[in-house]
Amino acid sequence: MNTTIDNIHLATHLVYTAGNLAYRMRGQGLTIDTKTSISDVVTQADRAAEEYVTSTLIQQRPDDSVLGEEGTLRLGESGTRWTIDPVDGTYNFANNFEYWCSAIAFTENDPTDPVRLRSRERYLSPSNTVTAGAVYQPCTHNLWVGGKNIPTTRNGQPIPHFGDPARETPSSLASACINTYLHPTFYHNPEVYAAFLRVIERCATYRMMGSASVDLASTAEGDTDLWIQHRLPDWDRLPGAALVLGVGGAVQDVEVAGEVWTIAGAPHLVKGATAALQGAALQRD
């Protein structure tokens, strides 16, 4: 029987190897295909990295389920599900911007109904049910690992938890820097855009960088204070959500304007952002 620690070691190995495989392939030249839009792209490196991770999991975890961004779906009987994003931030990756990563999560006692898993619905499982995740950013050589009851580390070094005196966290959204992303098509959806603005206008500043897993690693690390995004599939949410949980953070999924939004960070900031998203009145100082 594989333990959680065994799975963490395997996840670490998989993202490190997959990330470096993609990095080497980029240096050799890429063929870029589009999926749903001009900014939603895929390369042969994405596919090769996912194939490597999937084949390794089939060999080493034959009874586990596997879900990958580039089409992998394998149903197992163990109750553990692996969720793979071989290259998160492919647009950045394909355009030689360093803000991308390889990411993987595993969920023990996965609550997802197999019928829904087969459908590859965008939102399959609550973000806070993930057991652990690993995120590797090859361009910076940073590897984060953490999860529920698994203190998050970067390159083996512990990251201070929320509430730790060594960690500075804003007392309110008004002083917070948040990571987020809103695809331009949603600027023309009045309900979604209004919900987005209700959070943004309460914060000191925000960043849109294009890789949810790196964003969430940044929030876990303390480089940014909060992360919020809507309409994300499990492979974009779960690896980084695990890192935030591993530093004592909160991860909240909430439905607003017909979309599921995920908010992660210090518990009091998540609470404030959730209230803002749901329409709480803005209080001016």
Q: Output the pTM of the full model.
A: 0.94
For residue 224 the two structure tokens come to 């940014």
C-alpha separations of 19 from 28, 49, 59, 66, 142 in Å: 15, 7, 20, 18, 11
Residue 121 assigned ligand-binding role: no
Architecture of domain 173-278: 3-Layer(aba) Sandwich (3.40)
- Per-residue pLDDT, 1: 63
DSSP string, 235-262: HHHHHHHHHHHTTT-EEEEEEETTEEEE
Task: Specify burial of residue 155 (Cβ count, 10 A radius: 0-12, 13-18, 19+).
Answer: exposed
Residue ranges covered by each domain of the chain:
3-158, 173-278
Contact 66, 81 (CB under 8 A): yes
For residue 246 the two structure tokens come to 């591993």
- Per-residue pLDDT, 114: 87
Residue 85 assigned ligand-binding role: yes
- Per-residue pLDDT, 282: 55
Q: Using alpha carbons, select from 272, 230, 225 the residue that is nearest to residue 255.
A: 230
Residue 63 assigned ligand-binding role: no
Q: Compute the residue count for the chain.
A: 285
Residue 33 assigned ligand-binding role: no
**CATH of span 3-158:** 3.30.540.10
Q: Block means of pLDDT (10 residues each) for the chain, length 285 residues?
A: 91 98 88 72 88 97 95 95 96 94 97 88 91 98 97 98 94 98 92 96 97 99 98 96 99 96 98 93 51
